[in-house]
A and B are shown apart, each in its own frame.
Chain A
Amino acid sequence: MLLAVIANRAAMALVTLAGVAVVVFILLRVVPGDPVAMMISPGASAADIAALKAHYGLDAPLLVQFGIWTKGIVEGDFGTSITLHRHVTSVLADRLPATIELAVMALFVAVTLGGGIAIVGTLLRRTPGEAVIDGLNSVMLAVPDFIWALALVLLFAVALPVLPLTGQIDPALAEGFSTRFYLTESVLTGRFAVAGNILSHMIMPTLALALPLAAVIVRLLKQSLKEAMLQDYVLLARIKGFGELRLVLQEALRNAIGPTLALTGVQFTFLIGGTVIVERIFAYPGIGNLAIDAIINRDFPLIQGLVLLFGLIFILINIGIDLTVAALKPRLRHA
């Protein structure tokens, strides 16, 4: 059954990605602006422009261009970045690890923080404490990631300058890495001072991405937990003499977590989308930041590669959600 789900989702993923590829390819070439226009100096002649277009293969008919691109993809060649003069795959491979570390960290913070607040809110239900949590939470729900980013900058880089404003790591420390997973690698190799430096760079972008998701988790999980706490089996456990925290963790949480899990998966794709602006604000060297450069420069091959990569990430996340929900089902069937 699980295998069928995976096969089904993999097939759908391929179709989706193909669709995305077609749309982005056409869109880039229909919308005004192309890489050549961004490169040429103001006085360039029409002949120069035509020559440049020919150089990048932009003068061929749309269908031919598309054929060349897809043929390359099938052979594992996603083209060459026009501005960086490197293979798109190698550029992406350089930048993706930083975004993965940031997104996973943000997800972890969001789940821990959101889950923790939801549990505390459940323990405080029907007290003034719950009203405080609800009030703060509705504010948090209304604040998007880039506003958090700006607020955090004002707080921790301007008013109270304790955190580095930009980058991923102090350049002096960025030596001797064998992968681009700087944080993971420095922790695994025991270079904790370096890890600490990376973390201090990651705090603000992580929080900016995590807080909106945490707010969503608090809202939904607390709601589900409160409902679960009214169930007969919780009452029976209370009558056995278990304390409130034990009731929440042991009896309610497992039955309440389903909807939150599914929604967190969906929201995680939004979080990945949020890396574009948040990485930009903090000059964090991931694929989100790269995407903005690519778009400004109309770097068609790079944009196309990035869109496919984002599409692939979204699809993988969705498959992950489906598998988790399917795996939980036998237990939650009667919940």
Chain B
Amino acid sequence: MTAPKTMPRLAIEDLSAISLRDGNRPILRRVSLDVGLGEVHGLVGESGAGKSTIAKAILGIIPSQVRIAGGKIGFEGRDLLTLSGSALRAVLGRDIALVPQDPTTALNPSRRIDAQMTDGLRLKRGLSAKEARLRAHSLLEEVQIRDPDRVLASYPHQLSGGMRQRVLIAAAFGLEPKLVIADEPTTALDVTVQKQILRLIRALQERHGTSVLFVSHDLGVVAKICDRVTVLYMGKVVEQGATAAVLAAPRHAYTKALLAANPRYDRPDTGLEPTPPEVITALRAEIAAFDAGSGEARDG
């Protein structure tokens, strides 16, 4: 795929963040990335690289112990970081939706699926209770749930993990947002279910023309469904480009190592482990040099 020529859907520029928890340690180091219209952009990196922090910054849910130290998050010509609470609330749910990582905790245990799927449609799409219910029904059919009525009447604990993730995906895409953020949407699922969910996200994304920021720690997964990819290490972008190009000719030693580790689709945790120590040492030196150079990340 080629890079989009129009203005991107989401344009993150020089986003920096620090952790107030341990001595203002940098979490994000001038991260820039674009998600084009109708593009699936993969954000890869090992655990703690800062992927979720980027997602949270977009969604305005940065934890109290994390501070955004600089940068912009451009969306529709506005910087999401500077929006007021109510302006951001207007955008969230209508233009931006989230597919969360863990479907077991992302649904309210004491509310029926029906209520949890229709509330957003009523709030953000102005549907009546009846219209929202019909819409939820057809959305569940769209994510290949065979008995939508039973699922709608269920409490979350009555559904399997894969089923719950389908519900959450249906709810996210059902809001017809322009951008969906999927933060490791398959990590908590069984291997067999993972593939179905990935196919589902890609299918929905194509049908609705949605832009997706797809977060994963697994380059293999990202390779399967992303048009472009950004590789993150310790909050710093180490490689960025069209997925095919990056896979064919990785420029950075770290990416090469990730690929050489031959990440296995069915065992997502194995891919990132065996990065050679010399690659890590070199990367850390690179990051230390960056911190010393940029100055901003260290003070305070």
Residues of A within 8 A of B (CB): 126, 231-243, 250-251, 254-255, 330-335
The one of A239, A250, A335 that contacts B109, using a Cβ cutoff of 8 Å = A335
B152: Cβ under 8 A from any A Cβ: no
Check if B90 sits within 8 Å of A251, measured CB to CB.
Answer: no
Q: How many interface residues does chain B have, given as a range?
A: 20 to 34
List chain B residues, Cβ under 8 A from A232. 100, 102, 105-106
Considering the complex, which residues of chain B in the window 114-132 have a beta carbon less than 8 Å from any beta carbon of chain A?
A: 116, 119-120, 123-124
Whether A240 contacts B93 in the complex (CB less than 8 A), given A232-B105, A335-B110, comes out as yes
B155 CB → nearest A CB, Å = 7
Main secondary structure of the interface of A (DSSP, over half): helix
Bound CA–CA A305/B175 (angstroms): 64
Most chain-A Cβ atoms within 10 A of its Cβ — which of B110, B124, B157?
A: B110
A240 touches B120 (CB 8 A): yes
B109 near A241: Cβ-Cβ < 8 Å: no
Known interface pairs A239-B61, A255-B110; 19 further A-B residue pairs with C-beta atoms within 8 A, sorted by A's residue number: A232-B106, A233-B116, A234-B108, A236-B106, A239-B93, A240-B92, A240-B97, A241-B89, A241-B91, A241-B92, A241-B120, A241-B123, A243-B89, A250-B111, A251-B108, A255-B109, A331-B155, A333-B109, A334-B109
Q: What separation, in Å, do the CA atoms of A29 and B89 have in the docked complex?
A: 71
Q: Given A231-B105, A232-B102, are A240 and B110 neighbors across the interface (CB < 8 Å)?
A: no
6 A–B pairs (Cβ distance < 8 Å), ordered by A: A233-B105, A236-B106, A241-B120, A254-B108, A330-B155, A332-B110
Interface pair A236/B98, CB less than 8 Å apart: yes
On chain A, the residues within 8 Å of B107 by CB distance are 233, 236
Task: Check A236–B100 contact: CB distance below 8 A.
Answer: yes
> B61, A241: Cβ atoms under 8 Å?
no
Q: Does B213 contact A (CB under 8 A)?
A: no
Measured in the bound complex, the distance between the Cα atoms of B61 and A236 in whole Å is 10
Q: Indicate if B163 sits at the interface (CB-CB under 8 A).
A: no
List chain A residues, Cβ under 8 A from B175.
240
Whether B123 lies near A333 (C-beta < 8 A) is no
B120 cross-chain contacts in A, Cβ below 8 A: 240-241
Residues in B with CB closer than 8 Å to A251 are 108, 111
Q: Give Cα A233–Cα B97 distance, bound, in whole angstroms.
A: 14
**B261-282 at interface with A (beta carbon < 8 Å):** none
Whether A254 and B110, one on each chain, are in contact in the complex, defined by CB atoms closer than 8 angstroms, is yes
Docked Cα-Cα span, A334 to B158, in Å, equals: 10
What are the residues of chain A within 8 A of B155 when measuring CB–CB?
330-331, 334
Beta-carbon contact of A334 and B89 below 8 Å: no
Give the shortest distance, in Å, between B179 (CB) and chain A (any CB).
12
By beta carbon, the residue of chain A nearest B103 is: A232
Residues of A within 8 A of B106 (CB): 232-233, 235-236
Chain B residues lying within 8 Å of A235, measured Cβ to Cβ, are 61, 100, 106
User: Are B102 and A239 in touch, CB under 8 angstroms?
Assistant: no
- Enumerate chain A residues within 8 angstroms of B54, measured Cβ to Cβ: none
Residues in B whose Cβ lies below 8 Å from that of A242: 89, 93, 119, 123
